[in-house]
Amino acid sequence: MRIEKPRGTRDFLPDEMEKRRNIEGIMRRIVESFGYREVSTPTFEHLELFTIKSGDEIIEEIYAFKDKSGRDLALRPELTAPVMRLFVNECFVMPKPLRFYYFANCFRYERPQKGRYREFWQFGVELIGSDTPESDAEVIILAYRIMEELSIDFSLHIGHVGLLRKVLHGVDEKERAMRFIDKKEWRELENFLERKGKGELFEKIMELSSSRSIEEAISVYPDFDYSHISKVLGILDSLGIDFKLDFGIARGLDYYTGMVFEIYGRGLGAQNQICGGGSYSLTGIFGKEDVPATGFAIGFDRVAEICNVDQEKTRKVVVIGFGDYSKATKVADVLRREGIPSVVDVMGRSVKKQLSFANSINADYAVFVGEEFKKGLVTVKNLNTGNQREIRFEELSSYIINGEI
Ligand code: HAM
């Protein structure tokens, strides 16, 4: 009987995993260079953590279940709420700001398609305890540098949900309007505002979302304090960061309060959002005073799909012992300690078969451990060039590391 993997999930083979680990390594290096440190939270949480403030869209997509004691639990659909729970429970009094990052799988019951999965990975950061323009700028710069380092073809859009909420002030069910904006469902938005007797706001929102400068936005809607977002953009300009002002960004999650941003990658089709984030406040749901925070999450799978990182290639060795497994293992053991991946036949196969196996796993060298090993000698064969020579065992690892022979 063949059992398929659940819909919307994936298996990853070694080549793909190697690539993913490589990308992950680059992301870790960059966020750590900004002073962020890793946290980890449970794969499942109490359902209410996500239902209180994550937005209807996410709630519909939650993998919720009851455990054997009847508790309502959910597989995490994202990590901002869990990280804030961790912050409130474990780190509330620590010196601010806290800079946390995470890399973990998330689960959403969505209709699977290219770039949209039911289990996917997010790499994200949360900067907790500050609401200055500098903090918002920092997380944007960080996301930007990651995309640059991964040589991704992308565009960065920055907006402000505070402005949209201000425009929609007094409209009842305004989160529904935000959702239409988020999905760019303009007709639905127009109908919705008409029904609420606020049809005139539709034009304003359309004009704001097509404003390409703060000055333009001010002329459309003067009644808002643009100083915070102006300062954020000023910092980005001073660093040569390329972005588009986009007041049409509403984000799908309800916890955002101010600056919001999204990054779109080219080469992905419809699901092209590779990163989303912004400033938010979530501590209130835990009955605590407001602690501002800002952050983002990168859709790791989408990034992996469109980026080609140079794989750092470690030379791989097959050690052939002519039937003497223990001698071969001894040699392999030394190589492994030097960091050289070494494989020894465990199936009692002929030398010919071992060499063809070496080929199938793309090994770079075969090391023959025969009679001469008593005199401290082994024979190394470069499987790419066919060159072969006898060398002293002590020199073996340096030969391989340096790619000689
Ligand atoms: P989000 O926009 O819901 O934000 O998700 C972040 C990223 O996760 C998206 O931009 C997308 O690349 C990826 N993503 C979302 N759903 C899927 C899916 N079904 N399959 C593949 N990739 C997906 C958040 O989750 C916020 N917690 C981000 C944040 C952090 N805001 C502040 N801090």
Q: pLDDT by residue (tens digit) across 256-303?
A: 999 999 999 999 988 999 999 999 999 999 999 999 999 999 999 999
CA nearest 75: which of 107, 111, 41, 39? 107
Tell me which of 31, 54, 78 to substitute to probe ligand 1's pocket, judged by most ligand atoms within 8 Å of the beta carbon: 78
Find the range with the poorest average confidence among 68-82, 198-212, 299-313.
299-313
CATH 3.40.50.800 corresponds to the domain 317-402: yes
Predicted pLDDT at 145:
98
Phi, psi of 355 (to 5 degrees): -70, -35
Q: Where are the domains of the chain?
A: 14-306, 317-402
| 311 pLDDT higher than 80 | no
* pTM for this prediction: 0.94
Structure tokens belonging to residue 81: 């709420």
What is the SS3 assignment for 343? strand
CA nearest 305: which of 258, 331, 271, 254? 271
Structure tokens belonging to residue 316: 């791989």
Predicted pLDDT at 373:
96
* Rounded distance between C-alpha atoms, residue 186 and residue 179, angstroms: 10
Does the CB atom of residue 277 touch ligand 1 within 6 A? yes
Structure tokens belonging to residue 365: 């060298």
CA nearest 193: which of 222, 164, 218? 164
> What is the mean predicted confidence (pLDDT) over 395-402?
93
Query: Same topology for domains 14-306 and 317-402, yes or no?
Result: no
For residue 49, what are the CA distances in angstroms to 108, 109, 299?
15, 17, 21
Find the range with the poorest average confidence among 24-38, 46-60, 126-140, 167-181.
46-60
* 104 in Cβ contact with 121 (< 8 Å): yes
Q: How many CB atoms lie within 10 A of CB 98?
A: 20
pLDDT exceeding 70 applies to what percent of the chain?
100
Which residue has the CA at smallest separation from atom 20 of ligand 1?
116
Which residue has the CA at smallest separation from atom 16 of ligand 1?
116
Which H/E stretch holds residue 162?
helix 161-167
CA nearest 234: which of 226, 225, 223? 226
φ/ψ region of 120 (left if φ > 0, alpha if ψ in -120 to 50, else beta) reads beta
The residues that bridge with 155 in the sheet, in sequence order, are: 264
* 109 in Cβ contact with 117 (< 8 Å): no
* 146 in Cβ contact with 155 (< 8 Å): no
The residues that bridge with 302 in the sheet, in sequence order, are: none
The residue length of the chain stands at 405
Q: Which fold has domain 14-306?
A: BirA Bifunctional Protein; domain 2 (3.30.930)
Spatial CB neighbours of 68, under 8 Å, sequence gap ≥ 6? none
pLDDT tens per residue across span 70-128: 999 999 999 999 999 999 999 999 999 999 999 999 999 999 999 999 999 999 999 99
Spatial CB neighbours of 405, under 8 Å, sequence gap ≥ 6? 365, 380, 381, 382, 387, 388, 389, 391, 399
Task: Calculate the CA 133 to chain-centre distance.
Answer: 24
* Rounded distance between C-alpha atoms, residue 228 and residue 236, angstroms: 13
Q: How many CB atoms lie within 10 A of CB 298?
A: 24
pLDDT tens per residue across span 29-59: 999 999 999 999 999 999 999 998 877 778 8
CA 13–ligand 1 middle distance (angstroms): 24
CA 270–ligand 1 middle distance (angstroms): 15
Does the CB atom of residue 304 touch ligand 1 within 6 A? no
CA 379–ligand 1 middle distance (angstroms): 53
> What is the mean predicted confidence (pLDDT) over 344-362?
96
